[in-house]
Chains A and B, each alone.
Chain A
Amino acid sequence: MALELTEHNEAGLITVTAHGEVDLNSSPQLRDAILDAVQTCSTGVQVNLHHVAYMDSSGVATLVEGLQATTKNKHSFSLLRPSESVLKVLQLARLDSVFTIEGTA
């Protein structure tokens, strides 16, 4: 399943919405989209992961990179409605407490 990404800017808060699977093959796409959003946003970045059917550790690493980049710019970074698969990998990696998670799947 390919990864599809869309972006929405509302008053400086950029929401990157992902549909599909995030793995070694597709995580560079998500990384580019998040880091672009970090550069463009004026208040923060939100990553909507509600329609992500699968995520591996390269996806988690991408989210960590996004979190660190926004923190450096003093902006917010949050995960919106992560799917069950995303929550599972975050919990297995013991990183679920690191992120601000808004909404549930």
Chain B
Amino acid sequence: MENNTDITLHLRTDPGLLCSVRALTSRYVGEWLHDDSKTKEIVLAIDEACANAIQHAYNNDPNQTITLRFTAMERTLEIQVEDRGHTAPTEKVQRKTPAPPDPETLTPGGLGVQLIHQVFDEADWCPGTPTGNCVRMRLYKKNQES
């Protein structure tokens, strides 16, 4: 996969830069997918992955680095978001079955992770070496007739 990577981006963990990541992701994914609605969902999911790295892996330190890798193959889009911060606990990044929302007890923490699971066909969190996280997200192009 590494040899096929189209774009590798090293991003400083300044939340003010997230708008630039969204612009790049929108253009790159839009060209591959040709589906505006799904492209917007992918943009949201990548933004969430970067925001999680900034907030949770690096505790909002604006002077760390996240690496994004964009790879588009004929039928598969893969985007990786890597950090070298605190490794996320497994239970925090698992796909959960959503419970009926109760406004009184609602705690929106972890919402970003569930959005990522929902938007992509596959999303895996691997521990970094020696620290950090590698979030690998994959989307498969559906057959037009399906």
B15 contacts A60, CB within 8 Å? no
Does B8 sit at the interface, judged by CB under 8 A?
A: no
Does A67 sit at the interface, judged by CB under 8 A?
A: yes
Q: Which B residues are CB-close (under 8 A) to A68?
A: 103-104, 106
Q: Which A residues are CB-close (under 8 A) to B106?
A: 64, 68, 95, 98
CA distance A24 to B46 in the complex (A): 13
Minimum distance in angstroms from A4 CB to a CB of chain B: 15
Closest to A23 in B: B18
The B interface is mostly helix, strand or loop, or mixed, namely helix
Minimum distance in angstroms from A69 CB to a CB of chain B: 11
Does B124 sit at the interface, judged by CB under 8 A?
A: no
B114 contacts A93, CB within 8 Å? yes
B119 contacts A56, CB within 8 Å? no
Category for how many chain B residues contact A: 20 to 34
Of A57, A71, A88, A94, which one neighbours B101 at CB under 8 angstroms?
A94
B98 contacts A94, CB within 8 Å? yes
Q: Which A residues are CB-close (under 8 A) to B103?
A: 64, 67-68, 71, 98
Minimum distance in angstroms from A60 CB to a CB of chain B: 6
Of A64, A85, A92, A98, which one neighbours B115 at CB under 8 angstroms?
A92
5 CB-based A-B contacts, threshold 8 Å: A56-B47, A60-B108, A60-B111, A92-B119, A93-B114
Give residues in A with beta carbon < 8 Å to B: 1, 21, 23-25, 54, 56-58, 60-61, 64, 67-68, 71, 85, 88-89, 92-95, 97-98
Give residues in B with beta carbon < 8 Å to A: 15-16, 18-19, 22, 37, 40-41, 44, 47-48, 51, 54-55, 98, 101, 103-104, 106, 108-109, 111-112, 114-115, 118-119
